[in-house]
Structure 1
Amino acid sequence: MKTLQKTLNFIFQCLWFAIKGLIPRKIGAGDKIIHYAPRLVVQLMLSYLVGGPRLFLFGDSNSEVMSRLKVMIGFDVVAISGGIGGSRLDQWVDFFETWIGKLVLWLVGDAETVCNLGGNNALHRKMKTVPESARELHAIRPDAWIILIPPIHFDFFSILVQPKQLRKDIEKINKELRKEYKPRVIDPEPLVDKDENGEPDPGSLKDAVHYADRLVFEIQTVIELTALAEVDR
């Protein structure tokens, strides 16, 4: 069964990445998730050619970094990559309340869900929305897993917010997400900060916030061992 699922995912990913560029990444102005929906809807519909999705990844840019053929073909089940760089918790809640968002949820069905969100709430200074948005998003997908915000290079964003304040805000968001999603929590900190000094290890991030390729594959392995552990493969 595992070999079959892996083969189906390989076929699906090759099909998807062959046509992905034909679909606009974004339509319309603004930063609403609905403007990015066409690729997500088409990707989900295409997955039903091989039986439908078994894994749904969505969230911000640290989810979007997985949206590459060399990563997605590595999953053992048919996997959907729905990361949108710059997106926040509250934006996804708003999206899932639209008719297109509800269509997406219907197409996702009972696929295991892993979201990677929260960092942009700190960067965009949308901290007040975090507790309510975390609860609402969890209520929409009660069995979902959350990937916490990894340690980042805080000084890089000093023009937007003081590094100490940003660190404090991210710790607050992670605490809220951990409380809401426990025990379905994936913490990337042990992978990003192995020496436990509160800063990303050299080479763990490719820039200020995004996982380096090595970390992307390590996160993928963690997803396989946690979120997909009980999936029939």
Structure 2
Amino acid sequence: MVPEINLVSPCEFTREGFARILSSEGFTVRGCFDSIAEVRYENLSKNSIFLLDDPDSAEHARLVETVKAEFESAVVVLLSADFDLASMLKCFRAGARGYVIKSLKAAPMIAAIRLAISGQRVLPQDVLEIFENQAKPIPALPEIATELDDANLSPRENDVLCCLMAGYSNKVIARELDVCEATVKVHVKAILRKLNVNNRTQAAIWANSHSTIGGYYPIQSSQSDTSAQPLVARAG
């Protein structure tokens, strides 16, 4: 039986573009909806596929949960504009089968959807890059700071650094720390300069390598504490 696609996206251009590509690849596009509220679940076939697109990564897991609550056997693939590790993990916990970055070209996008339909979990290339980068030996990085004190990070920069360790995007960091995204970018730039590293992945690797070395360990700031206690602090 030909899989039936239900496409949810607030962007008409995205809906029409995906519908044409999917139809040309032999899929049946059952419906295109600009919001999850418009979807009708009556008479869905057992092999129904939901492609969910929303520009707000904070909404991704909720969309997956909504579909799975209405139609548990549905295969759900989340379409995201950017890679957001925290959002991706929440989506898979909610029951998503795939998490695909929309910048993919048509052929790999269709291949990813077919893999999800076949029962495979589909993750973006960014996940593999995280593991590959973490597997690289720290000495291979360019003369990074050897002690946290030498880095002279501010309390807020420590907060941002711990978020980088968790793989958070700038948007998620801004939400977690209750600051604007532009402020996060400034902090990230300062962190890279102070640690003498080239990118946020190297900064996260550095932080991981120092979280249990030299008496440093990661701690969580209290939401109610307005003193901006650093997330990385000296033990004892």
Task: Place the TM-score, normalised by the shorter chain, in its bin.
Answer: 0.3 to 0.5
Greater helix content = 1
Could you say which structure has the larger radius of gyration?
A: 2
